[in-house]
A and B are shown apart, each in its own frame.
Chain A
Amino acid sequence: MNLAGALPLSAALAALLLSLFANAAQAGGLPTVELEIRDGAFDPAIIQVTAGQRFKINLHNRGNGPVEFESLPLRVEKVLGPGVSSFVVIHPLRPGRYSFFDEFHLAMPEGVIEVR
Chain B
Amino acid sequence: MAQALLIVWRESVEALLVIGLLYAWLQRLPVRHRPQGERALWLGALAGAGLALLLASLMLLAGNWLSGPAGEWFQVAMAALASALVLQMVIWMAGNNATPQRRSAPSHPAAVALLAGLAVAREGSEIALFLYGAAASSGSTGLLTGALTGLLCGVLSFVILQRGSRLLNWRRFFQLSTLLLTLLGGAMLMSAVDRASTLLMGLELPAAAYDWLGNAMWDSSALLDDSTRAGALFASLTGYRAHPALPGLLLLTSYWLLAWWGCHARRVRYAGQLSV
Interface residues of A in 76-116 (CB under 8 A from B): 76, 78-92, 99, 103-104, 106-107
> What is the CA–CA distance of A79 and B210 in the complex, to the nearest angstrom?
24
Tally of contact residues, A, Cβ under 8 A: 49
Interface size class of B (residues with CB under 8 A): 35 or more
List chain A residues, Cβ under 8 A from B229. Answer: 72
List chain B residues, Cβ under 8 A from A65. Answer: 132-134, 136-137
Verify B226–A72 contact, CB threshold 8 A: yes
Verify A91–B6 contact, CB threshold 8 A: no
> What is the CA–CA distance of A73 and B214 in the complex, to the nearest angstrom?
12
Most chain B beta-carbon neighbours within 10 Å: one of A66, A83, A86: A66
Interface flags for B51-64 (1: CB within 8 Å of A; 0: not) read 00000000111111
Interface segment, B86-94, B151-159, B171-179, B199-207? B199-207
List chain A residues, Cβ under 8 A from B70. Answer: 18
> What is the CA–CA distance of A86 and B211 in the complex, to the nearest angstrom?
24
Interface residues of A in 1-57 (CB under 8 A from B): 1, 3-4, 7, 11, 14-15, 18-19, 21-22, 25-28, 39, 54, 56
B244 to chain A, nearest CB (A): 10
List chain B residues, Cβ under 8 A from A78. Answer: 67
Which residue from B65, B68, B133 sits with its C-beta under 8 Å from A67? B133
Which chain A residue lies CB-closest to B58? A81
Residues of B within 8 A of A (CB): 3, 6-7, 59-70, 126, 129-130, 132-134, 136-137, 194, 197-198, 201-204, 210-211, 213-215, 226-229, 231-232, 241, 243
Q: List 6 A-B contacts (CB under 8 A).
A: A11-B61, A26-B202, A28-B204, A63-B137, A91-B214, A103-B130
